[in-house]
Amino acid sequence: MGNFETTTKVGGLRAVDMKFRPIREFEFGELQFLQSRTRLNTPELGTLVPETFRKVSELSNQCVSLFELELRQLIENIKMMQESEFYFRWVSMYMPLRFLESKDVQKYLMDKMDESRVDTNKICFELSPDILFEGKSIHGTNIEHLRNRGFHFMLTNFGGMNSPLIRLAYYPVDFVQLSEEMIGYLVDDSRSLAAVESIVEFASGLGAETIADGVMSAEQAELLFKAQCRYGSGPLVGKYVASRHLKNKKEEKQEDKEG
């Protein structure tokens, strides 16, 4: 794939188009968090999904420019959700390692939050499992500094074949999102359940909570709850939608009555 431009507008569309899906608590089924997913609109290559553009953008400072655009849109969406009294604890967005290693990362983010008047605890930065192999001491230091400022951090797609458990201790994240690959084997493989239980216990000992990704059935949700994993996302919980289509508790209850 070739290079792409990260401009504010492309053909009248936003350069970045952000959608959100719910992360719910298993015990009561209530929405707690939101996870974002960005599509990139480019002049020459059309609309690109994260699996296509993330790796390419991180070969250069393009990923930093893209992060700044995504942050701007995320802040806009948070303000709109709050104005409509939509409840959520935080909304996540992807943070590239190249941005996290900047010496000015704390000042940049705090300036943006002060300017927008959005609370830092409303944002959770997603980290790729690549940090477990490519991470530097500056990444861990900046994570700690930003957490002290109120931001949250979540390590995503953890639990695959290339996720060394011990390296998780190097980075003080608040949440660990278990991979779809691991969750997919839960019902048919008791060893997968034991692995989930071990990761949940290990993460808990480090002060992090686990979120299961790719939850497709009530049976999986029940097993995860028994394994002390409190939160889940995936087909059972809800798909990615534009922020205007998110429903608050009152709207959900009304739909249940009408259904």
pLDDT tier at 44, thresholds 50, 70, 90: confident
Q: Residue 224 class from Cβ within 10 Å (0-12 exposed, 13-18 middle, 19+ buried)?
A: buried
At residue 46, the pLDDT reads: 85
Q: How many domains does the chain have?
A: 1
State the alpha helices, DSSP H only, in the chain: 50-57, 62-83, 97-100, 105-116, 131-134, 137-148, 180-184, 190-205, 218-226, 249-258
At residue 154, the pLDDT reads: 98
pLDDT tier at 3, thresholds 50, 70, 90: very low
The three-state secondary structure class of 73 is helix
For 87-137, write each residue's pLDDT tens digit: 999 999 999 999 999 989 999 999 999 999 999 999 999 999 999 999 999
Contact between 216 and 234 (Cβ < 8 Å): yes
What are the structure tokens assigned to 206, written together?
Answer: 């480090």
Domain of residue 129, residue span = 9-258
Question: Does residue 232 fall inside a structural domain?
Answer: yes
Query: In the block, which residue shows the tokens 């952000």?
Result: 18
Q: 218: phi > 0 → left, psi -120 to 50 → alpha, else beta; which?
A: alpha
At residue 159, the pLDDT reads: 81
Q: Alpha-carbon distance 181 to 153, whole Å? A: 21
Q: Residue 200 class from Cβ within 10 Å (0-12 exposed, 13-18 middle, 19+ buried)?
A: buried
Q: What is the CATH number of the domain that holds 77?
A: 3.20.20.450
Question: Does residue 95 fall inside a structural domain?
Answer: yes
Question: Does residue 169 fall inside a structural domain?
Answer: yes
Provide the percentage of residues in the chain whose pLDDT is more than 90. 69
Question: Does residue 252 fall inside a structural domain?
Answer: yes
For 48-59, write each residue's pLDDT tens digit: 899 989 998 999
Provide the percentage of residues in the chain whose pLDDT is more than 70. 88
Question: Does residue 3 fall inside a structural domain?
Answer: no
At residue 258, the pLDDT reads: 58
Question: Does residue 177 fall inside a structural domain?
Answer: yes
Question: Does residue 92 fall inside a structural domain?
Answer: yes
At residue 11, the pLDDT reads: 47
Question: Does residue 1 fall inside a structural domain?
Answer: no
Contact between 112 and 140 (Cβ < 8 Å): no
Query: In the block, which residue shows the tokens 């709050």?
Result: 82
Query: In the block, which residue shows the tokens 């074949």?
Result: 161
